Amino acid sequence: MAKHFQSVSELGTDKQVLNVFKGWQDWLFNERRLSGNTCTAYLNDVETFLYFLSKHIGSSISMLNLQQLSITDLRSFLAHRKRSGLSNTSMARNVSSIRSFFYFLNKFGHLKNEAINLLTSPKIPQAIPKALDKDEALSLLETTPGTAMQPWVKSRDKAIFALMYGCGLRIGEIIALNGSDIPLSDAIIVNGKGNKQRLVPVIPIIRHSVAEYMSLCPFTISKNGPAFFGVRGNRLNPGVVQRSMRAIRGSLGLPATATPHSLRHSFGTHLLMNGGDLRSIQELLGHASLSTTQRYTAIDTNYLKEVHQKFHPRAELK
């Protein structure tokens, strides 16, 4: 758990607000089970919010202050953040963080503030996932074994990238796998964001890549221990995977958008291009909302037009 403000003076609040803030922190980590990065971002946002309010109001923030905050006060904070140069994407996350904090306060009977329901997020453009084409994805997977010095590390990287492209897994989901999750069968149960589980099929070539890594790994893969190790015998760090990808894309001349996450996007994109339906792809990727998956329809408009022309009943009426 990340360390955050521990004293009343640092946070600009009275002791009661500090205590509920710590309670919210525990709730995010232990009950909501959000990812570490998301929890840290939420905590940082609300710390900044509370510190701003102490300056805005001119005194330490109390529970009564939080209950009596108006929409004007809340918008003043967003205006302050905007003047600090914060992007609309970060501003939207600030709003989500504050809403989560007030939801916690209301849920557990600390206080209720209706003004939070009037707070709106700035509009942010929907980012279209950057996917590799099929040849780029396959060449990347074939190049992986030649990028590391130790054979087991080469095999590990190949297995990880195969899981990303072949199963659509996130880096964090792969690194979180334990020995009990492998060797792989025809399908794997993945713990995704918010600790939501999903079942993902595993094709033979991916099972073979993971099995090869297991046979070469110099560390003991125990039931409750990590499935993927760093060179020092600890659970693998995401940065190692990202560095490996940078080395590979440099050797292949791929663009900077060729990231580990782009392999996951390529998984979804290529399924769509080969006739997969959005609902199924949503389940396989673990998207909470179909609208997130719908972004893939913007990737290859020409292909979708061809499908429409070929299969729509009215296409026969000319």
Residue tagged active-site, from 32, 193, 198, 235: 193
To the query of whether residue 287 is one of the catalytic residues in this protein, the response is: yes
pLDDT score, position 138: 83
Query: Catalytic: 170?
Result: yes
Most confident listed range (4-18, 59-73, 252-266, 294-308): 59-73
Catalytic residue among 154, 158, 170, 265: 170
Q: Which of 260, 151, 162, 141 is nearest to 208 (CA)?
A: 162
Exposed/middle/buried for residue 9 (C-beta within 10 Å: 0-12, 13-18, 19+): exposed
Instruction: Tell me the pLDDT tens digit for each residue of 99-129.
Output: 999 999 999 999 999 999 999 888 876 666 6
Phi then psi for 33, rounded to 5 degrees? 55, 45
pLDDT category of residue 176 using cuts at 50, 70 and 90: very high
Range 134-308 has CATH code 1.10.287.1060? no
State the pLDDT confidence band at 136, using cuts at 50, 70 and 90: confident
User: pLDDT tens for residues 196-248?
Assistant: 889 899 999 999 999 999 999 999 999 999 999 999 999 999 999 988 888 88
Q: What share of the chain is helix, strand, coil (3-state, %, to 5)?
A: 65, 5, 30
- Per the annotation, the verdict on 193 as an active-site residue is yes
- The residue among 7 and 313 whose pLDDT is bigger is 313
Instruction: Name the average pLDDT for the chain.
Output: 84
Q: How far apart are CA 113 and CA 103, in angstroms?
A: 9
74 in Cβ contact with 211 (< 8 Å): no
CATH fold group of domain 8-118: DNA polymerase; domain 1 (1.10.150)
Please give the structure tokens belonging to residue 177: 């796998």
Q: Report residue 309's pLDDT band, with 50, 70 and 90 as the boundaries.
A: low
Helices 238-252, 151-167: inter-axial angle, 10-degree rounding? 90
Q: Tell me which of 99, 235, 261, 295 is the catalytic residue.
A: 261
Report the pLDDT value the prediction gives residue 281, as an integer from 0 to 100: 83
What is the model's pLDDT at position 297?
Answer: 66
String of DSSP letters for 82-133? HHTT--HHHHHHHHHHHHHHHHHHHHTTS---GGGGG--PPP-PPPPP----
Q: Where are the beta strands (DSSP E) in the chain?
A: 187-191, 197-201
Q: Is 261 in the active site?
A: yes
Q: Where are the CATH 1.10.150.130 domain residues in the chain?
A: 8-118
CA dihedral 140, 143, 145, 148 (to 10 degrees): -90
Q: Is pLDDT at 1 greater than 50 in this prediction?
A: no
207 is known as an active-site residue: no
Residue range(s) occupied by CATH 1.10.443.10 in the chain: 134-308
Predicted structure pTM score: 0.60
